[in-house]
Chains A and B, each alone.
Chain A
């Protein structure tokens, strides 16, 4: 979707607040939200559906509210959409007795959680029968259109010519994964000259690399 989340190359966001004290969390609630996101996910959803639900947050909230707040709102939206929480329960902030009870969940220790983090090294690739259409060094052209749902081809890189830098096998296609469908498609790293992407860039050899699925690409003559 051409949403507020697609920030690459957008202008007007000002200087970067480079100061950072290295603390992972600056408020207790940020740590709580991080922990919640690690130990629970709405049953049946995919990472791409979760990302899409975050993209669907109203623009003023997406830009104006704190980062981990947007995670909490995304979590709430996925639980409500899937029928685990009612809107009333969320507004009141507690469960209606007897609704969707499936617990209690077991407590995990620090050591168990560290092992769980290791278990969370999820892979998204798989062997597929079709051979890759593009080869390393080949010139490619990106699609001029996005996708009304979730997609990972940013607006700034649409309709642009690039060169295949690497092939990574077949990975889960986010556009369909966000609809609950697991389809693998060849994934490539594609390099784009900065001069191809940005009108103000002249005489530069700088490049931007994106990881793009095969259906985002077509053959592009140099």
Chain B
């Protein structure tokens, strides 16, 4: 059982720093080998998790949630009031989304999500976070210079639009509901979902459009 001994862990990290090979692949291999040797993990289960988060669970889920909210006002109402229940209607409730909150962009408000203390992310609807989301530059600057950060993503926010940054300091997770692009009134949910980018659901993309959507 753990002793929850911070000093001991700090010493362990110093020893690992000195004695482990530098190559990350070798470090992870050592961890996996020990877990398998001790019967704590089955390597086939690791394969299945990799497949799940490569093929099945990713931002396409979030895009479908957004498209459904755009198309169905009653679904949007449920999503805004109780996001975990609303995503569970689509089978998307899962890792890190039991306390999901949806924050809506409007003409007057732009939302941006960050985790300054670690890298909290709503995995079961957005999959694995992009590298920049987990990097020191984004984590340090998103709360202090959100407009500068957004400009680096090619997003320029008008002065009269309020920027709201959500720092994920608890077990709540945030999903940005981007604005439905104009000229999409005839589109069905599937076509709308194709317009929704991952970055728009984090807040580093604002204006979606027929020619602007991509897989990023």
B51 close to chain A: CB less than 8 A:
yes
**With A11-B140, A35-B49, A67-B119 known to touch, is A79 a contact of B41 (CB < 8 Å)?**
no
Closest approach, in angstroms, between the C-beta of A100 and any C-beta of chain B?
5
**With A56-B10, A118-B91 known to touch, is A28 a contact of B25 (CB < 8 Å)?**
yes
Q: Contact between A152 and B172 (Cβ–Cβ < 8 Å)?
A: no
Nearest to B51 among chain A residues (CB) is A110
Instruction: Count chain B CB atoms within 10 A of each CB in A6, A42, A114, A180 and give the residue with the most.
Output: A114
Chain B 31-70 residues near chain A, CB threshold 8 A: 31-42, 44-54, 56-59
Nearest to B43 among chain A residues (CB) is A107
Give bound CA distance, A16 to B59, whole Å. 21
Give bound CA distance, A105 to B35, whole Å. 10
B215 close to chain A: CB less than 8 A:
yes
Q: For B45, list chain A residues within 8 Å (CB).
A: 35, 39, 105-108, 113
Chain A 56-86 residues near chain B, CB threshold 8 A: 56-58, 61, 63, 65-69, 72-73, 75-85
Q: Contact between A27 and B13 (Cβ–Cβ < 8 Å)?
A: no
A49 close to chain B: CB less than 8 A:
yes
Give bound CA distance, A121 to B28, whole Å. 26
Q: For B198, list chain A residues within 8 Å (CB).
A: 22
**With A16-B141, A27-B24, A209-B166 known to touch, is A93 a contact of B38 (CB < 8 Å)?**
no
Q: Contact between B137 and A14 (Cβ–Cβ < 8 Å)?
A: yes
Nearest to B56 among chain A residues (CB) is A114
A43 close to chain B: CB less than 8 A:
yes
Nearest to B23 among chain A residues (CB) is A29
Nearest to B167 among chain A residues (CB) is A210
B27 close to chain A: CB less than 8 A:
yes
A126 close to chain B: CB less than 8 A:
no
Q: Contact between B165 and A208 (Cβ–Cβ < 8 Å)?
A: yes
Nearest to A22 among chain B residues (CB) is B215
Mask of B166-185 contacts with A, CB within 8 angstroms, 1/0: 11111110000000000000
A36 close to chain B: CB less than 8 A:
yes
B14 close to chain A: CB less than 8 A:
yes
Q: For A22, list chain B residues within 8 Å (CB).
A: 59, 130, 198, 215-216
A144 close to chain B: CB less than 8 A:
no
A residues contacting the other copy or chain, number (CB 8 A): 120
B187 close to chain A: CB less than 8 A:
no
Mask of B197-211 contacts with A, CB within 8 angstroms, 1/0: 010000010000000
B17 close to chain A: CB less than 8 A:
yes
B72 close to chain A: CB less than 8 A:
no
Q: Contact between A95 and B163 (Cβ–Cβ < 8 Å)?
A: no
**With A72-B31, A110-B56 known to touch, is A5 a contact of B117 (CB < 8 Å)?**
yes
Give bound CA distance, A14 to B31, whole Å. 33
**With A9-B140, A77-B13 known to touch, is A211 a contact of B215 (CB < 8 Å)?**
no
For the complex with contacts A7-B136, A18-B152, A80-B12, 17 further pairs of A-B residues with Cβ separation under 8 Å are A10-B140, A18-B153, A18-B204, A20-B216, A24-B58, A29-B24, A29-B28, A35-B45, A35-B48, A36-B35, A44-B1, A63-B136, A76-B12, A93-B30, A95-B37, A113-B45, A179-B4
Which B residues are within 8 Å of any A CB, using their own CB? 1-6, 8-10, 12-17, 19-20, 24-42, 44-54, 56-59, 84, 91, 93-99, 114, 116-119, 123-124, 127-128, 130-132, 134-141, 143-144, 146-147, 149, 152-154, 162-172, 198, 204, 215-216
Which A residues are within 8 Å of any B CB, using their own CB? 1, 5-11, 13-18, 20, 22, 24-29, 31-36, 38-40, 42-45, 49, 51-54, 56-58, 61, 63, 65-69, 72-73, 75-85, 87, 89-91, 93-95, 99-110, 112-114, 117-118, 120-125, 149, 152-154, 156-157, 168, 171-172, 174, 178-180, 187, 189, 191, 197-198, 205-213
14 pairs, CB–CB < 8 Å, chain A vs chain B: A17-B135, A24-B58, A24-B128, A29-B29, A35-B49, A39-B46, A40-B40, A54-B118, A93-B29, A95-B37, A101-B39, A117-B95, A206-B147, A212-B169
